[in-house]
């Protein structure tokens, strides 16, 4: 068994170097396919980052009346934080709200003068709520409306919920996110299928040059695994080398693109590439090996059936 494995490995390396030009053509095509797949991954990451940035700028604000009981405010705050749809809740006290108002209107003398003429702070506390998904804001708003309806007439707590004002923006953003995710999935699927078909046909052409050799091996009684083994090994070599080459191609490209993507998308692709190099290496090289192995296996199977 060990001798057979050694012969298969030796035959695989010999075939790889003997058909050097064919091997280079297969590696070139597979490298381009993996580069396209990797580029699609990076583009998808940029889209995810951009959409996350947009989502972080959308929230629901709940404004409490100035004399709202502190315990009721805290009760609503804790209830909102416990909602499964909520990602984060930012609480702003009355004092902080007043300070923020002063900062926003520091160049507006009339507003500041009107504020000074009041005997007390006219602003109430408020909370800013961010949902995990934009489609979940409606559920959060319904919960807040239920809390408002449960208030006693003589003890008003919630003054305003601004979901209605932001609803159009939230709905538009939700539509954009859904459309982008669907388009990204479709494009990645098309590119992956194209890469598989191109790789399969290229490796099949490479094995086509060895069809007479396969026929002779069958005539002398070689088993299917012994015939298939060297080509499977060559497919693995194609995939591994192509994956490494694709990674090397990305390095100088992302060094140049990194600062530019950071300026437009708040994500430095080169930093992302280096931080997730192990995952990207495993993914691209793994896809390359699988593509090369499967393509070789199916291509050889055609000649084993004849």
Could you give the CA distance from residue 121 to residue 162 in angstroms, rounded to a whole number?
21
pTM metric for this prediction: 0.68
DSSP bridge partners of 129: 60, 89
Residue 137 — very low, low, confident or very high, per pLDDT cuts 50/70/90? confident
Q: What CATH fold (topology level) applies to the domain 59-165?
A: Alpha-Beta Plaits (3.30.70)
Decide which of 66 and 202 is more confident. 66
245-277 confidence digits (pLDDT tens)? 999 999 999 999 988 888 887 889 999 999 999
Q: How far apart are the first and last CA of the chain?
A: 27
88 backbone dihedrals φ, ψ, rounded to 5°: -155, 155
Per-domain residue ranges for the chain?
2-54+174-305, 59-165
> Would you call 38 exposed, middle or buried from its count of C-beta atoms within 10 A (0-12, 13-18, 19+)?
buried
Half-sphere exposure of 56 (CA within 13 A, CB side): 7
Half-sphere exposure of 14 (CA within 13 A, CB side): 9
Half-sphere exposure of 289 (CA within 13 A, CB side): 10
The pLDDT of residue 28 is 85
**How many other β-carbons are positioned within 10 Å of the β-carbon of residue 22?**
20
The pLDDT of residue 255 is 92
The pLDDT of residue 267 is 86
Please state which of the ranges 69-73, 88-92, 208-212 shows the lowest mean pLDDT: 208-212
Sheet containing strand 126-131, strands side by side: 86-92, 126-131, 60-64, 158-161
Q: Is residue 306 scored above 60 in pLDDT?
A: no
- DSSP character for 209? T
The sign one gets for the Cα dihedral 190, 196, 201, 202 is positive
Mean pLDDT of the chain: 81
Angle between helices 277-305 and 20-56 (to 10 degrees): 140
Q: Is residue 146 scored above 80 in pLDDT?
A: yes
Residue 281 — very low, low, confident or very high, per pLDDT cuts 50/70/90? very high
The pLDDT of residue 277 is 93
The pLDDT of residue 8 is 67
Alpha helix (H) residue ranges in 59-136: 70-81, 94-104, 109-116
Could you give the CA distance from residue 238 to residue 248 in angstroms, rounded to a whole number?
15
Q: Which helix (H) or strand (E) holds 63?
A: strand 60-64
Tokens of 34: 């993996």
29-64 confidence digits (pLDDT tens)? 888 888 888 888 888 888 778 777 777 777 888 888
Residue 244 — very low, low, confident or very high, per pLDDT cuts 50/70/90? very high
- Sole residue written with tokens 């629901």: 60
Tokens of 296: 């070789």
The pLDDT of residue 11 is 67
The pLDDT of residue 224 is 66
């Amino acid at each position: 068994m060990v001798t057979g494995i050694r012969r298969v490995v030796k035959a695989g390396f010999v075939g790889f170097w003997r058909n050097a030009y064919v091997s280079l053509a297969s590696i070139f095509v597979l490298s381009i396919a993996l580069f396209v797949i990797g580029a699609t991954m990076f583009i998808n990451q940029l889209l995810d980052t951009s959409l996350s940035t947009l989502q972080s700028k959308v929230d629901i604000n709940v404004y409490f009346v100035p004399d709202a009981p502190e315990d009721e405010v805290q009760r609503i705050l804790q209830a909102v934080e416990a909602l499964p749809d909520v990602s984060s809740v930012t609480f702003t006290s009355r004092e902080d709200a007043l300070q923020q108002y002063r900062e926003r209107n520091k160049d507006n003398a009339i507003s500041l003068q009107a504020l000074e003429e009041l005997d007390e702070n006219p602003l109430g506390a408020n909370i800013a709520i961010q949902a995990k998904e934009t489609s979940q804001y409606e559920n959060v708003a319904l919960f807040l409306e239920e809390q408002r309806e449960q208030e006693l007439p003589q003890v008003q707590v919630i003054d305003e919920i601004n979901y209605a004002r932001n609803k159009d923006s939230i709905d538009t953003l939700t539509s954009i996110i859904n459309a982008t995710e669907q388009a990204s999935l479709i494009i990645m699927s098309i590119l992956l299928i194209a890469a598989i078909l191109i790789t399969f046909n290229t490796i099949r052409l490479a094995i086509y040059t060895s069809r007479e050799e396969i026929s002779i091996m069958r005539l002398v009684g070689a088993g299917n695994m012994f015939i298939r083994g060297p080509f499977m090994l060559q497919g693995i070599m194609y995939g591994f080398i192509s994956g490494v080459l694709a990674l090397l191609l990305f390095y100088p490209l992302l060094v140049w693109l990194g600062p530019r993507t950071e300026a437009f998308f708040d994500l430095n692709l080169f930093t992302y590439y280096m931080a997730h190099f192990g995952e990207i290496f495993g993914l691209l090289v793994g896809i390359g090996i699988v593509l090369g192995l499967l393509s070789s296996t199916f291509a050889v199977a055609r000649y084993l059936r004849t």
